[in-house]
Each structure stands twice: as structure tokens, then as C-alpha cells.
Homo-oligomer: A and B are copies of this chain.
Amino acid sequence: MLSRASKYAILSTLFLAEHSSETHKISVKVIAESIDVPNPFLAKLFQQLVRGKIISSTKGPNGGFYLTKKNGKRTVLDIIENIDGLSRLNECFLGLSECDGLNPCPVHFIVEPFKNGILGKFRDLSIMEFSKEIIAQGRKLTLKDISTDFEKK
């Protein structure tokens, strides 16, 4: 449904929301390691997110990526739109050319409320609001296998 690229972009942007600021920029390297995403691939994604004004960057020493207040008001849906385009979110679960009530596939009426739920959340909450929710719930958004953390302990 979402490409890996989108997922990386979402998690990384939420990471910036939580850990960066205009006075504390973060390099791709740090982010890539924190959430366990391939470094140069993430760099590419970030370039595109910067062009889409979803995140911000500055070059040079103490440079890196960060969110401005304005950036924080963008939505997760903006990220998806920027990376994957919106069409992928609206695909029929079984591949029919149209996903709507006109010629619904056998699972359409299970899929539709889910889609609306996800879409609503991605569209109506800003990145910053989204992030606050995550912090409040004490979640760790990393692709690292958390079980390895337990072992290390």
C-alpha cells in the first residue's frame, strides 16, 4: 500500500519532529542509524522532502535537517503525496481498476472504513500533533528489531 520509501520518509520526519529544531539540526547519518534505514537512500528522500517544503535543511558544519514551525504544520498525507503520490492509497485491495461503491470487490466494505480512518488521521493531524501523540504514548518508531535490544541488555 505504501512504498518503503514513504514509510522511511514518514518515520524520519516524525523523528525530526521529536528530536530536531531550528537550533538543533540533525544529519542524515544520525537519523538513518536511529531508525535503521539505509543512509544514502534516506538522503535522497530527504532531498525530495526539502524540495516539497515538508522538512528543512542547511549545509555545512552544524547543518542538517530540521522542522520549522511551518514544516510542523504539514501532514503525513503531504509526505505520502510527495513520495508516492496519492493514488496508491486509493487502490482496490484486490486490484480492481476502480475502488468505489459502484462495482465493489468482495472486501470493499471492509477496506473502505479502514481507508477512511487512515486517511482521516493522515490528513487531519499535523506532523507536530502526530508526533506529540507518539511522544505521549511513549512509542519508539524505529525499524530496528527491538528484540535485539532486549538481547543486548
Contact = CB atoms under 8 A, between A and B. Distances in A.
Interface of A: 1-2, 4, 7-8, 10-11, 14, 93-98, 103-107, 110-111, 113-114, 117-118, 121, 130, 133-134, 139-147
Contacts of A142: 96
B93 A2 contact: yes
Contacts of A7: 94-95
A110 B114 contact: yes
A102 B4 CA distance: 22
A95 B4 contact: yes
Number of identical monomers bound together in the oligomeric complex: 2
Contacts of A107: 118, 121
A125 to B, nearest CB: 9
B110 A111 contact: no
A118 to B, nearest CB: 6
Nearest to A97: B145
Contacts of A121: 106-107, 110
A115 B4 CA distance: 19
Contact of A95 (B11, B114, B139, B140): B11
A140 B4 contact: no
B97 A146 contact: yes
Given A96-B141, A110-B117, A141-B96, A103 B8 contact: no
Q: Which of A96, A139, A142, A146 has the most CB of B within 10 A?
A: A96
